């Protein structure tokens, strides 16, 4: 079991560029999440999904989009990168009412 | 929505001493309270969790207590070791379709001095 796998690990974007952060899990979890963590801060929920085809906004969704076409994959899309999106992004998954498993994170810098 | 406050933001202890981190939550419907440890540059890792039907849970040197009436919960680490140095996050989960909608506290940077 690989758990939750995120790619890429690091990325530098220019303002206005777009990119997709990939997340896949092999634990057959229905629930998946995207969090962002700014330097020295806690984690804030961006988007979440309760199953394939179902997504919803979290606390800080502006500037991001997600899709969930399969149980395994939950990519996060940044359409027009802004410096405020410089952060570490964590994908996570869980079974029903169980603990979250986090991916290793993507460190994104927007310059 | 749920709001979780965590104190202190930094905590420095001598090796062998105890460390206590406290969190308060706002939503009385919250029923799951995990604690995560995050080492520098690493992902958060669950170290202990407690559900609202239990008042205390212990795992070796780590314990968590929950006071539902006061809406606060605490992490206790005894006999601290240098490898306990990390950032610790509490979280509270409000039920939604049986999933875990976690709201995290702001974190506590624990430093254990040898």
pLDDT in tens, A41-94: 889 999 999 899 999 998 899 999 999 999 999 999 998 999 999 999 999 999
**Is residue B97 scored above 60 in pLDDT?**
no
Residue B99, pLDDT > 70, answer no
How many residue contacts between A and B have a Cβ separation below 8 Å? Answer: 51
Task: Give the model's pLDDT for residue B100.
Answer: 64
Mean model confidence pLDDT for chain A: 93
- B113 bridge partner residues: B14
In whole angstroms, give the CA distance from residue B91 to residue A33. 15
Decide if B105 contacts B6 (C-beta within 8 A): yes
Q: Which residues of B touch A90 (CB under 8 A)?
A: 43-44
Contact A45 B106 (CB under 8 A): no
- Nearest-CA residue of chain A relative to B102? A45
**pLDDT at position A8 over 60:** yes
């Amino acid at each position: 079991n690989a758990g939750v796998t995120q790619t890429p690990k690091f990325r530098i974007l220019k303002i206005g560029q777009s990119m997709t952060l990939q997340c896949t899990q092999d634990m057959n979890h229905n629930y998946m999440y995207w969090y962002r963590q700014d330097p020295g801060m806690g984690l804030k929920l961006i988007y979440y999904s309760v199953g394939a085809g179902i997504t919803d906004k979290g606390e800080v969704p502006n500037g991001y989009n997600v899709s969930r076409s399969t149980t395994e994959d939950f990519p996060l899309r940044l359409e027009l990168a802004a410096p405020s999106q410089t952060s570490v992004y964590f994908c996570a998954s869980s079974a029903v009412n169980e603990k979250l498993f986090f991916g290793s994170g993507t460190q994104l810098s927007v310059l | 929505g749920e709001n979780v406050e965590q104190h202190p933001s930094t905590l420095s202890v001598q090796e062998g001493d105890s460390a206590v981190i406290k969190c308060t939550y706002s939503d009385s419907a919250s029923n799951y309270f995990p604690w995560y440890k995050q080492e520098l540059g690493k992902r958060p890792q669950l170290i202990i969790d407690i559900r609202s039907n239990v008042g205390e849970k212990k795992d070796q040197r780590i314990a968590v207590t929950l006071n539902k009436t006061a809406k606060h919960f605490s992490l206790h680490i005894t006999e601290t070791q240098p490898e306990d140095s990390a950032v610790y996050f509490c979280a509270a989960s409000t039920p939604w379709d049986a999933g875990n909608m976690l709201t995290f506290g702001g974190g506590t940077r624990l430093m254990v001095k040898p």
